[in-house]
Chain A
Amino acid sequence: MHVELRDIRKYFGHVKANDGISMVLEPGKIYALVGENGAGKSTLMKILSGYQPPTGGEILLDGRPVEFHSPADALAKGVGMLYQDPLDMPPFRVIDNYLLGRDSRVRLNYKDARTELENLAQRYNFHIDPNATIDSLSMGERQQLELVRLLAGGAQVLILDEPTTGISAEQKEILFESMRKMTREEGKTVILVSHKLEEVQELCLYAYVLRRGRLEGEQELPCLNEALVEMMFGQVPQRTRRPAFAVGEPVLELQDVSIESYQLNIPNINLSVRAGEIFGFAGLEGSGQRQVMQVCSGLLSPTGGRVRLNGEDVTGWSFHRRQRDGMGYVPAGRLEEGLVAGLTLTEHLVLARPDKKFFVDWKANQVEMGERISTYQIVGRPETTADALSGGNQQRLLFSLLNTPLKLLLLEHPTRGLDVRSADYTWQLLYKRREHGTAILFISADLDEIIEHSDRIAVFSGGVMSRVLDTQSTTAEELGHLIGGQA
């Protein structure tokens, strides 16, 4: 099916997620859609698969303009999307999941469905047991099932969102082979949304690169990785010279930590973060860095290995105990995790203080919060509720609530959603903390930020942590390789 997007725009308030994107996708080809986090890839694909209507612009299928009223409508018209987390029904049996929504007859025709499912699966070399329950399947099998379901529903255009995250190498091969077959032999159009440049190069014929809601460029594949990286991230800046800082004793140590979960296995993490050091975790979201961070904070227990804080084994300590021992943690979701909607800034301060008294001295805390508001440049008043703050101000509020002194500070996406000036300011404050000997460990999806601010970097890919890189001696190219999954 021939697909054309014309001037697609999607605005959320004043945020332009997609700002006039046009592209052409021809049948029989695999396309790549690449871009860093927040570039607008997901939004665009949600529009193309009927989950969201665009603010403006047009979609043409085989030359005819179409409008999608729902995902089901889009599928009926030939466009199906496979999500990173497949939209299936975990407690259902495979066959029931396959049948849900297939037709409007009351009785389920198991016999035909089973044959159909098995034939389709066989054609692409998938192995799916129709009687298994979905929650007993691996991520790769769930994807296969969802693909089969979309194909049976009549998909001529298939969108795959980061399909290789959390699946085995073997399953990846099967998936790629099936995509080749769909395009070459069956004339379908496939769009692969991915960060992993190696895979993109291996599989796709043509890449569209998004950056900040716009189409930054397009490129025949294969090409040099650097060309894509430059389009995705812009010019990767060289690290500005910062005064060298003498790091101290190890504060946080991970020894042979392994984490097993349904989606991802993270083996053997060994890591040491020293006092006064800033350590960055790079990698695509969902590569394991968040789980490792949660093990450091005590929110997640590792399946194996030890965690040490200042030499003391804290593996069995709860989050609260580590907090009392001088750990700070700034989560990524603000109003969901970290702030309480409906409570005022001062109330947050009172809760976060280590020296809690039974009776609250509101006046003193109000004054204290006022001071923090000006120190952290929060636009708001002590009596404002947290939900009335803008995203950036909520982020600054989280920082302002951190106690002093801290031994260890864990940060998830510390400057996400902040403009350049506030981001710089946030880092200045963090530098001050490092001068007082706080060890800082942070996750960021922004490569610039990682390179600019880390002393050392570890890159995560598919649950595996790379060797630890010294920022002074690494290059953007090397990081790009590691992020793309190359050792």
Chain B
Amino acid sequence: MIQAPTGDRSRLWKLWPLVPISAALIFTSALLLLFDASPAEAYRAMWDGSFGGQDKILSVLAFWVPLLLASAGLVITFTAGLWNIGVEGQIILGAICASWVALNVNAPSGVLIPLEIVAAMVGGALWGGLSAVLKTRGKVNEIFSGLALNNLAIILTNYLISGPWQPPEGGSFRGTTPFQDAALWPRLLDSRFSPLSLLLAVAALVAVYFVLRGTTWGLKLKALGKNPYSAYLLGVSSERETILAMMFCGALAGLGGAVRVLSWFDSLRQSISGGIGFLALLIVMLAGYRILWVPLIAFFFSVVLNGSITLQLKTQLHSALGGILTGVMVLFVLLFGSARQLGLGGTQASAGGAPGTDLPDVTPADAITTDIPGGD
């Protein structure tokens, strides 16, 4: 093990990503065959659904943006060792707050859009912060508070669109009336894709990259996620950093929610998030909690999910196929991926990529010499 032929091994490692992809494809193909559908045709339909035309590609991009925003935030919370399942609710709160501005403020676009952005980020951050405070002060596991807050956010949306914000023609449970034009984000070529939103997402990715790579805060989060007690002894306050991390993620997720209402749709809808938060969790897990991998994997997810919607339109096969494809991939990587690929709990990988961690393995982990185990 000490001087294994590292060259061969690293070459094999490069092929590793193909394994979960093929496993997922084989699994979904089997499902398709079960339904007497031709996998080849289905995958072609999915491909066409994502790349078969300008509108399709723009739609993939438009779906990609909120995934990027939520994933970028989740890299922060995962780094701090938090399971922010509540990201879905944070997206929804962002959407609700942005909608409130869009419905209630009369101003030109130049004022309205920044206001919407701020409102969405504040809304998401508060929803995330609530989860964090419940954890640090109330000892409520963030998984459960997050789930409850997700559902409460959905219920709040339903309440708003069927109650106070219902269209004048009567509550249809489907959504509010379309917002004023000034409130909507400028979109490219009559599509759902707003270049502004992509700009914001790129800014978020860059911000997260630099937070983890170049700031003391990012380092504190890393320490907290890897060993809370040692982090404490090194001077890190877990309560403060937990709340900040959750609020940071909530703000980005909330921004994603604003993109959903103001660019993907033009109004607040019933299932406004559409599971984007959960998808983002899968994306970040698949990325091994590293920000650099997020854009690529999120793009792949967007392609698969857009494709599966077309698949449903064309072949009547349920669009959940896209979710199955990505889910099986993540499961496969979680079960068989090495500790090196999975930063959380493993010791080798590093979420942020601070200087030094880009270097090849300095010393194998098993070379640690320990004191006499079981000594007196």
Contacts and interface: CB of A to CB of B under 8 A. Distances in A.
**Direct A–B contact in the complex, CB atoms closer than 8 angstroms:** yes
Interface of A: 12-15, 17, 35-43, 46, 51-52, 285, 319-320, 323, 329, 331, 335-344, 346-348, 350-352, 356-360, 362, 366, 381-385, 387-391, 401, 416-417
Given A15-B372, A387-B368, A352 B347 contact: no
Interface string B330-356: 000000000000000011111000111
A38 B369 contact: no
Nearest to A210: B376
A359 B347 contact: no
A335 B349 CA distance: 17
Given A37-B376, A43-B374, A388-B367, A351 B223 contact: yes
Contact of A320 (B237, B357, B367): B237
Given A42-B374, A388-B367, A358 B230 contact: no
B216 A360 contact: yes
A35 B372 CA distance: 15
Nearest to A417: B371
Contacts of A46: 374
Nearest to A41: B376
Nearest to A38: B375
A338 B230 contact: yes
B230 A344 contact: no
Most buried by A among B229, B355, B359, B364: B355
Contact of A337 (B219, B233, B236, B367): B233
B356 A344 contact: yes
A194 to B, nearest CB: 11
B39 to A, nearest CB: 41
A352 B234 contact: yes
A331 B235 CA distance: 14
A340 B234 contact: yes
Given A38-B376, A382-B356, A350 B233 contact: no
Contacts of A35: 376
Contact of B215 (A40, A329, A344, A360): A360
B6 interface: no
A358 B355 contact: no
A104 to B, nearest CB: 30
Contacts of A366: 355
18 contacts: A12-B373, A15-B371, A36-B376, A37-B375, A319-B232, A346-B355, A347-B223, A350-B216, A356-B216, A357-B216, A360-B214, A381-B362, A383-B356, A383-B359, A385-B347, A385-B357, A388-B362, A390-B369
A414 to B, nearest CB: 14
A382 B359 CA distance: 12
Given A337-B230, A346-B355, A357-B216, A320 B235 contact: yes
Contact of B354 (A51, A347, A359, A401): A347
B313 to A, nearest CB: 46
A38 B140 CA distance: 42
Contacts of A12: 370, 372-373
B214 A340 contact: no
B10 interface: no
Given A323-B235, A384-B363, A390-B369, A340 B355 contact: no
Contacts of A342: 222, 226, 346-350
Interface string B204-234: 0000000000111101101100110111111
B374 A17 contact: yes
Contacts of B40: none
A189 B230 CA distance: 44
Contacts of B215: 358-360
B365 interface: yes
Nearest to B351: A342
Interface of B: 214-217, 219-220, 222-223, 226-227, 229-237, 346-350, 354-357, 359, 362-365, 367-376
B367 to A, nearest CB: 7
Contacts of A350: 216, 219
B290 to A, nearest CB: 13
Contact of A348 (B234, B350, B375): B234
A359 to B, nearest CB: 6
A225 B206 CA distance: 69
B228 to A, nearest CB: 10
A362 B353 CA distance: 13
Interface of B (DSSP majority class): loop
A416 B370 CA distance: 11
Contacts of B348: 342, 385
Contacts of B234: 338, 340, 348, 351-352, 401
A344 B233 CA distance: 16
**The 8 residue pairs across chains A and B that have the minimum distance between CB atoms:** A383-B356, A388-B363, A344-B356, A390-B369, A341-B347, A37-B376, A351-B234, A340-B227
Nearest to A381: B362
Given A347-B354, A351-B234, A383 B362 contact: yes
Nearest to B357: A344
B172 to A, nearest CB: 49
Contacts of B356: 344, 346-347, 382-385
Contacts of A14: 369
Contacts of A384: 356, 362-363
A171 B369 CA distance: 41
Most buried by B among A14, A357, A383: A383
A384 B232 CA distance: 22
Nearest to A36: B376
A320 B231 CA distance: 11
A168 B219 CA distance: 48
A351 B375 CA distance: 32
B375 A387 contact: no
Contacts of B219: 343, 347, 350-351, 360
A366 B354 CA distance: 12
A336 to B, nearest CB: 7
B213 to A, nearest CB: 9
A401 B233 CA distance: 12
Nearest to A398: B233
Contacts of A38: 371-372, 375-376
Contacts of B372: 12, 15, 17, 38, 40, 43
B362 A385 contact: yes
Given A320-B237, A331-B233, A340-B223, A383 B355 contact: yes
B236 A351 contact: yes
A100 B221 CA distance: 43
Contacts of A323: 235
Nearest to A318: B237
A142 B373 CA distance: 26
Nearest to B356: A383
B232 A344 contact: no
Nearest to A16: B372
Contacts of B347: 341-342, 385, 387
A344 B347 CA distance: 11
Contacts of B217: 358
Contacts of B354: 344, 347, 362
Given A383-B359, A416-B371, A341 B233 contact: no
Contacts of A381: 362
